C-alpha cells in the first residue's frame, strides 16, 4: 500500500509552490499579452475569495485523506450549511452566533455519520460518502427551490466583503483554519495518530492507537470545515443556496487541491501547507482562465 522505502519521497513537497509561482508567472504573461491584468486589485481579491471558499473545504478534506479516508459529501454539506445559517439568521444580526453554531452542528453531525459508516459499518469511504451525499442531495432538491433565508447584514459586510488591503477577511479565516489544522496535525496526539492510521491502520493498532475514534474525529472536523465554508458562502451570497456546493465542484476540487498539495490519496503522508498551495494553484489557474475568457470585442 505504501511506497517502498527506497522510493525517494519528499517531506513537504515544494512542488506545488513551484507550480504556483510558474502558473502565476506564465499566467501574468499570457494575460498581459491578451491585454488584461492579472494582478489588479479586483482580480487579486477575487482570487483570494475563490481560494477562501475552496480552501476551507480542502483543509478539512486534507484531514480525512491523510487518515486514509475521503469525503465526497462535502459539496452538499457546504450547501446545507449555507441554508441552515441563512435561514436561522433570517437577516437578523442578533441571530448570528446561534445560526453559525447551528450550521456547524448540522455539518458536524453529517461528519459523524460519515465517520461511523466508514469505521463502524466498514463501508468503503468513497461509497459511504457518496451515499450520504446522495441522501443530502435528495433532501436539498426536495426541500429547497432556490436560495432561501437571508444572511445577517453584519456577516455579509464582515466575512463576505470586508478586506484588509487586498486580503479579504475570509482569506484570513482560511489562513487561521489552515494554521489550526496544521497545528492539530503536527502538534497533537490526535494528529500523529491520524497520520499513523492513514499510513497503516494495523501498525497504528499494534502501537495502541484507537483508529476508529481518530478517523471519526477526522470526518467530523472535515465536515466542520465544509460547514464553515458554507457559512462563508452564505455571507458572500447573502442567502442560503441549495446548489452552491455542487456548482462549485467543492467535492472534486477539494480533493484535487489536497492531491496537488502532495498528500497521498492512500493516506499517511501530506499536510495542510501543501493543500493551501494546491488551493492557491487552482484559484490562480481559475483566475488566469477567467481573465482569458473575458471576451473583449473590438478592443483597440
Partner 1 sequence: MTALAVSTLLVLAGCATDEPTTGASGSPSAGSGSGTGKQSKFFVRSDYEEQLALLDAAPTGPPGKPWEQALDPAMVETAKFRKPGPYKICFSNAGLNNPWRQVGFKTMQAEVDTHRGRISEFVHVDAEGKDQKQIADINDLLGKGCHALIVSPNTTATLTPAVKAACEKGLPVIVFDRGVDTNCPVTFINPIGGYGFGHVAAEFVTRKTKRGGKVLALRILPGVDVLETRWSAAKVAFDKAGVDVVGVEFTDGDPARTKKIVNDYIQRYGTIDGVWMDAGAVAGAAVEAFEDAGKPVPPINGEDQLDFLKLWKDKKLTAIAPTYPTYQWRTPIIAALRILDGERVPNPWKLPQPTITQDNLDEYVDPEMPPLHYAMCGCTDLPGYPKRWK
Partner 2 sequence: MRIARPRRLLTFRSGGLAPIVVILAVLLVLLTARQPDFLSPPSLMSFLGRSAPVVLLAAGQYFVIVSGELDLSVGSLVTAQVVVAARLIDGDPSAGWPVGVLLLAFGITVGLVNGLVTTRLRVPSFITTLGMFLILVGAVYLWSDGAPKGGLSEGFRRLGRSAFEDVPVLGRIPYALVVLLAAAALALALTRSDFGRTLVAVGGNPRTAELSGVRVWRAKTMAFVLSGLAATLAAVLIGGYSGVSFQAGAGLEFGAITAAVLGGVALGGGRGSVVGAMLGALTLETLFTLMNFYGVSGALRPTVQGAIILFAVAAASFRFPSR
Partner 3 sequence: MSGLPPSPLLALRGIGKSFLGVRVLDGVDLQVRPGEVHAVVGENGAGKSTLMKVVSGVHQPDEGTVEFAGAPRTFRTPREAQQAGIGTVHQELTLLPERTVAENVWLGREPLRRGLVDRRAMLSHTARLLASIGEGSLPPGTRVGRLGVAQQQVVEIVKALALDARLLVMDEPTAALADHEVDQLYALVRRLQEHGIGVLYVSHRLKEVFDLSSRITVLKDGRAVATLDTADTGADQLVRHMVGRELSSYYPDLARPQELGPVRLTVRCAGNRKLRGIDLRLRAGEVLGVGGLQGSGRSALARALFGAAPFSTGHVSVDGAPVRLRSPRAAMRAGIAYVSEDRKGEGIVAEQSVLDNALLAARAVRAVHPGRGGRGARTARVRELLAAVDLRAAGEDQEIRYLSGGNQQKAVLARWLALAPRILLFDEPTRGIDVGAKSAIHDLVRRLARDGAAVLMVSSELPELLGMSDRVIVMRDGRIAGELAAGATEEDVIALAVGTVGEAAG
Instruction: For residues 230 and 233, give the distance between their C-alpha atoms in angstroms, rounded to a whole number.
Output: 5
Residue 66 near residue 125, CB atoms below 8 Å? no
From candidates 137, 219, 236, 269, binder to partner 1 by CB under 8 A = 236
Is residue 45 involved in binding partner 1 (CB under 8 A)?
A: yes
Distance of closest approach, residue 269 Cβ to partner 3, in angstroms: 4
Quick one: 2 or 290, whose CB is closer to partner 3? 2
From candidates 28, 39, 139, 161, binder to partner 2 by CB under 8 A = 139
From candidates 19, 64, 68, 87, binder to partner 1 by CB under 8 A = 87
Is residue 142 involved in binding partner 2 (CB under 8 A)?
A: yes
Angle between helices 74-89 and 250-260 (to 10 degrees): 120
Residue 193 near residue 214, CB atoms below 8 Å? yes
147 binds, options partner 2, partner 3, partner 1, none, Cβ within 5 to 8 A by partner type: partner 1
Distance of closest approach, residue 82 Cβ to partner 1, in angstroms: 9
- Whole-Å CA distances, 4 to 1, 189, 196, 203: 9, 26, 16, 16
203 binds, options partner 3, partner 1, partner 2, none, Cβ within 5 to 8 A by partner type: partner 3
Distance of closest approach, residue 17 Cβ to partner 3, in angstroms: 20
From candidates 30, 45, 90, 130, binder to partner 2 by CB under 8 A = 130
238 binds, options partner 2, partner 1, partner 3, none, Cβ within 5 to 8 A by partner type: partner 1
132 binds, options partner 2, partner 3, partner 1, none, Cβ within 5 to 8 A by partner type: partner 2
Beta-carbon count within 10 A of 98 CB:
11
Q: Which residues, in sequence order, are CB contacts of 183 under 8 Å at separation 6+? A: none
Phi, psi of 167 (to 5 degrees): -100, 115
71 binds, options partner 1, partner 2, partner 3, none, Cβ within 5 to 8 A by partner type: none
Is residue 128 involved in binding partner 2 (CB under 8 A)?
A: yes
CA angle (287, 229, 264) in 5-degree steps? 75
Residue 226 near residue 133, CB atoms below 8 Å? no
Buried b (16+ CB within 10 A) or exposed e, 252-270: ebbbbbbbbbbbbeebbbb
Binding site for partner 1 (CB under 8 A): 37, 40-43, 45-46, 49-50, 53, 83-84, 87-88, 139, 142-150, 156, 160-161, 233, 236-239, 241-242, 244, 247-248, 290-291, 293-300
Amino acid at each position: 500500500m505504501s511506497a517502498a522505502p527506497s522510493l525517494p519521497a519528499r517531506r513537504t513537497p515544494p512542488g506545488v509552490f513551484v507550480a504556483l509561482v510558474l502558473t502565476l508567472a506564465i499566467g501574468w504573461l499570457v494575460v498581459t499579452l491578451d491585454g488584461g491584468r492579472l494582478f489588479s486589485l479586483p482580480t487579486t481579491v477575487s482570487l483570494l475569495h475563490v481560494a477562501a471558499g475552496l480552501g476551507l473545504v480542502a483543509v478539512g478534506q486534507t484531514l480525512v485523506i491523510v487518515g486514509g479516508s475521503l469525503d465526497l459529501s462535502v459539496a452538499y454539506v457546504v450547501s446545507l450549511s449555507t441554508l441552515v445559517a441563512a435561514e436561522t439568521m433570517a437577516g437578523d444580526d442578533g441571530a448570528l452566533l446561534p445560526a453559525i453554531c447551528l450550521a456547524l452542528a448540522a455539518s458536524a453531525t453529517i461528519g459523524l455519520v460519515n465517520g461511523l459508516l466508514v469505521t463502524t459499518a466498514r463501508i468503503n469511504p468513497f461509497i459511504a460518502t457518496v451515499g450520504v451525499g446522495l441522501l443530502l442531495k435528495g433532501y436539498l432538491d426536495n426541500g429547497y427551490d432556490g436560495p432561501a433565508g437571508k444572511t445577517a447584514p453584519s456577516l455579509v459586510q464582515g466575512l463576505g466583503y470586508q478586506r484588509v488591503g487586498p486580503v479579504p477577511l475570509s482569506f484570513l479565516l482560511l489562513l487561521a483554519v489552515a494554521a489550526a489544522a496544521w497545528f492539530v496535525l503536527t502538534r497533537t496526539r490526535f494528529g500523529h495518530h491520524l497520520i499513523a492510521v492513514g499510513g497503516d491502520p494495523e501498525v497504528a493498532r499494534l502501537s495502541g492507537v484507537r483508529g476508529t475514534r481518530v478517523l471519526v474525529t477526522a470526518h467530523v472536523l472535515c465536515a466542520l470545515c465544509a460547514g464553515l465554508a458554507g457559512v462563508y458562502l452564505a455571507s458572500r451570497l447573502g442567502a442560503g443556496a441549495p446548489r452552491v456546493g455542487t456548482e462549485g465542484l467543492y467535492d472534486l476540487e477539494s480533493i484535487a487541491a489536497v492531491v496537488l498539495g502532495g498528500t497521498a490519496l492512500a493516506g499517511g503522508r501530506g499536510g495542510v501547507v501543501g493543500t493551501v498551495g494546491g488551493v492557491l494553484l487552482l484559484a490562480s489557474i481559475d483566475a488566469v482562465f477567467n481573465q482569458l475568457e473575458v471576451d473583449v470585442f473590438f478592443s483597440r
